[in-house]
Amino acid sequence: MRNFIILFGLVLFISGCANVPQYQENSDWSHSEVAHLHFYRTKRMFHALNPEKPFFFVDDKMAGSLGTGETFTVRVLPGTHTLSVREPFMFSPGYESGRFEIEVEASKHYYIRYSMDASGVYAYGSTAGVYGTAKFGTADKESFDNRE
C-alpha cells in the first residue's frame, strides 16, 4: 500500500508538470512588428545555490526559467501583456511571487528584472535560517547588461 501511495504521488507530480501551457512565438512575425521582452535574473548570490529556478509567464503561459545571472528573450505582439513569476516547488511552478501588466510597442526592447534578496532571519528552536523576498519588474538596459 505504501508503494502505491508513493507511485500515485509521483504520477500526480509528473502529470502536473505536463499541464503548464507553454508560450509559443509565431515564426511568421517579422522583427519590425514585435516587441522584445528580455528577462534576466540578477547576479545576487542569495539563493544562488538553489537548484530550482523560478518560472516566468507571459499572458499566463510559461516562457522559461532563470538561474542566477541568466537571461532569455521572448518576442510578443504590440499591446498589453501580463507578466508573472512563480517560485519553484519540487521543480514545478509553485506560488506566484510577482505579476504586472506592461504595454509594449513594435520594434522596442523591454528589460524585465527578477531578483531574490535576503530580507530577514528567522529562528525556530535551535535552528536559524535566512528568508528572501522576490522582486520582479522593469529595468533599464544598463542594469540588464550588468545583471544588476
Q: Mean per-residue pLDDT for 45-70? A: 87
| Residue 106, in any domain of the structure | yes
Q: Which of 50, 21, 51, 45 is nearest to 115 (CA)?
A: 45
Question: Which of the two residues, 35 and 89, has the higher pLDDT score?
Answer: 35
Q: What is the per-residue DSSP string for 117-136?
A: EEEEEEEETTEEEEEEEEEE
Strand partners, 104: 79
Q: Lowest-pLDDT range, 2-11, 35-44, 80-89?
A: 2-11
Q: Output the CA torsion 132→134→135→137 (10° steps).
A: 170
Number of domains making up the chain: 1
**What are the pLDDT digits (tens) for 84-134?**
999 888 888 988 999 999 999 999 999 999 988 777 788 888 888 877 788
For residue 115, the enclosing domain spans 22-146
Supply the pTM of this predicted model.
0.79
Q: Is residue 27 part of a domain?
A: yes
Residue 9 resides in a domain? no
**DSSP helix/strand/coil, 51:** coil
Question: Could you tell me how far CA 70 lies from the centroid of its own chain?
Answer: 11
Domain assignment of residue 111, yes or no = yes
| Residue 129 forms part of a structural domain | yes
Residue 11 lies inside a defined structural domain of this protein: no
Q: Check residue 122 and give its pLDDT.
A: 80
Q: What pLDDT score does 59 carry?
A: 97
Q: What secondary structure letter does DSSP report for 21? A: P
Please give the residue that has the higher pLDDT: either 121 or 82.
82
The CATH number of the domain holding residue 60 is: 2.60.40.1120
Does 4 map to a domain? Answer: no
Domain membership flag for residue 98: yes
Q: According to the per-residue pLDDT averaged within each range, which of 24-28, 45-49, 99-103, 133-137 is highest?
A: 99-103
Q: Which position has the grid cell 504595454? A: 103
Integer-rounded Cα radius of gyration of the chain? 18
Confidence of residue 49 (pLDDT cuts 50, 70, 90): low
pLDDT over 70 at 44, yes or no? yes
